[in-house]
Structure 1
Amino acid sequence: MLGLVGVDVDGTLVGTDNRVREDVWDALEEARARGVRFALCTGRPAVGNALAYAQRLDPDGWHVFQNGASIVNVVSGESLSVPFPAEALPGLLARANTTGRLLEVYTDAEMAVSLPGELAERHAALLGVPYRPQPPQALKGEPVRVQWVVPREQEAEVTAEPHPGLDLHPAGSPGMPDVMFISVTKAGINKGSALTRIAAKYGLDMDRTMMVGDGENDVAAMRVVGHPVAMGNADPPALEAARYVVGHVDAGGLREAVALALRL
């Protein structure tokens, strides 16, 4: 069996009803009992629902949040996070103000918004955190990531704009199907770089690892593991990067990936 499996959240672990199937949890917990390590690999921050998922998935393990900008041990609180380039933030905030778009700014455990309103409130509900909008200057910790939250029709416009020294990670969520989340990290920071660091922590070669995902922001991790798996509902970039394809998230496709990890 494999030693480490990275698991995306939206569209992989969590279905279109924003819930995790109990039979999927059962499969994950059985594999964990047999010695497979799991790492949540999500664009979400380490708060609310995502933190709870990580704690249940692998209670004393390392997990990837914020598209690789946050790598957190959920027991010790130890962080291997990578700071967001401070020189890039003022320009992005100015662009958000000029365009009227929502830009979220994250530390490991806090978030701020450039534009309070309906989109920010809906996203807080999706994350499972109270809607308490605060401006970016109120953040106490060091920012690790920012994120554009825009209507789907604005994705191409945002990704075409210059983001020097930064990487963009577009992703959707079944819980907000009309919205695109375009995460922005320091160049070279992604789910793949983070999962590689976690495998090293566990003393595992990458050929004994798996990544299960459905979105474009999962591709970096799928490219570094030995066994990339796409959900049946995956976007084309994830399907192209996959060696295996399992069922739709709402049909419990993640169960199939877990069973595969136990056979390999």
Structure 2
Amino acid sequence: MIKLVALDLDNTLLTNDKKISKVNELALKKLSAKGVKVVLCTGRPINAIWHYIEQLGLTDPADFTITFNGALVINNTSRKTLAKQGLSKADLVPLHEFSKANDFPLDILNFDQVYPITDLVKSIYQLGGGIKFEPMTFDELPDQLYAKVVAAQKPAILDKMVASLTPELKKQYHVARSQPHILEFLSPTTDKSVGLHALLQHFGWDESNLMAFGDAENDAGMLKSAEIGVAMANAQPAITALTKYHTGTNEEDGVAEFVDKYFKLD
């Protein structure tokens, strides 16, 4: 029995202009009213998506969000951490050296702010929600736990970066292309599926109770682990191939289309 529905945001729940349609909003509110948990799963911090959380009414004491692609599971109202993992500054040294040698940008995120690395080429990374950006060199970077690293540039440049990654770097990080212009580096054990597993255990459930929606590389783990993993019609071909469940595009209210039929919401 499905008890929790996990939703990627960009190109899944959100339209191309970064909005939750009224059709999707109504369907998810009906789902919540039936007692099914609705959980947003994103690479962003919670403050950057708070308007979506409020729009869907996910503000009860038992509501959570998977942030930083699984590195942080956080309670929406208390902001208490349920699960957390990340990378140390020492873990980031090989990635910094690679980026410096090959002229690639990096933005390093802890769980509160962004550090654009100024001894590398300039990044195009942007993040809403009033998140602080504090540019500095890698040497100046504080010695603390980091949620993830983002390389943000034109898709062609990131294609080159992916092609240049050594086998050693691929082992050291979980590398995922979340958008054409964003490549993310996480700890090897960080994934949306890992954050969701912690949340499911918190409620006394498991993956047989999970439905997940996604479109991109950083959604692969949760789509594979879920009892029902749903790929959007606009998903990357490799994501479409992961699951037998498919729905309309993010522009066609694909999320609402699937949950309406599955849960018989009408």
Shorter-chain TM-score range: 0.7 to 0.9
Aligned position for 1:119: 124
Give 1:35 deviation, angstroms. Answer: 0.5
Instruction: List alignment gaps of at least 5 residues for structure 2.
Output: none
Q: Provide the residue aligned with 1:66 in structure 2.
A: 68
Could you tell me how far 1:8 is from its partner in structure 2?
0.2
In the superposition, the TM-score normalised over structure 2's length comes to: 0.85
User: Which residue in 1 is equivalent to 2:44?
Assistant: 44
Alpha-carbon distance in 1 for matches of 2:193, 2:91:
23
Change (3 A) 1:27 1:180: same
The answer on whether the counterparts of 1:39 and 1:54 sit within 8 Å (CA) in structure 2 is no
Q: Distance in 1 between matches of 2:132 and 2:194?
A: 31
Looking at structure 1, the residues matched to 143 and 51 of structure 2 have their Cα atoms a distance apart, in angstroms, of 23
Structure 1 residues 237, 85: closer, same or farther in 2, change over 3 A? farther
Deviates most, 57-66 or 132-141: 132-141
RMSD: 2.4
Q: How does 1:3-82 map to 2 (within 5 A)?
A: 3-48=3-48, 50-57=49-56, 58-60=58-60, 61-79=63-81, 80-82=83-85
Asked whether the equivalents of residues 210 and 261 of structure 1 are also in contact (C-alpha less than 8 Å), the reply is no
Is residue 147–residue 186 contact of structure 2 (8 Å, CA) maintained in 1?
A: yes
Contact 1:46 1:109 in 2 (8 A): no
Distance change >3 Å, CA 132–CA 166, structure 1 → 2: closer
Q: Could you say which structure has the larger radius of gyration?
A: 2
Specify the alignment match of 2:203 in structure 1. Answer: 202
Identity fraction in percent? 22
- 1:102 is paired with a residue whose SS is coil
Partner residue in 2 for 1:192: 193
In the TM superposition, residue 59 of structure 1 has moved relative to its aligned partner by: 1.9
Q: Quick check: 61-70 or 91-100, which moved more?
A: 91-100
Change (3 A) 1:94 1:223: same
1:86: which partner in 2?
A: 89
Match of 1:171 in 2: 178
Query: Is residue 223 from structure 1 mapped to residue 224 from structure 2 by the alignment?
Result: yes
CA, structure 1 residues 113+32, in 2 after alignment: closer, same or farther (shift >3 Å)?
A: same
Shift in alpha-carbon separation, 1:171–1:72, aligned structure 2, 3 A: same
**1:222, 1:86 → 2: CA distance?**
30
Shift of the alpha carbon at 1:30?
1.4
1:195 offset after TM fit, Å?
Answer: 1.0
Provide Cα deviations, 1:47-83, integer angstroms capped at 9, x if missing partner.
32x2332354422312111111121111121221102
Residue 154 of structure 1 and its aligned partner are, at CA, apart by: 2.7
C-alpha spacing 1:118/1:87, structure 2 compared with 1 (3 Å): closer
Q: How far is the alpha carbon of 1:141 from its aligned partner? A: 5.9
How far residue 225 of structure 1 moved from its aligned partner, in angstroms, is 0.6
Q: Supply the distance in 1 between the matched residues of 2:23 and 2:262 (Cα, whole angstroms).
A: 16
Q: Secondary structure at the match of 1:18?
A: coil
The answer for unaligned runs of 5 or more in structure 1 is 173-178
Q: SS of the counterpart of 1:241?
A: coil
In 1: Cα distance, 2:222 partner to 2:182 partner? 18
Separation in 1, partners of 2:196, 2:243 = 16
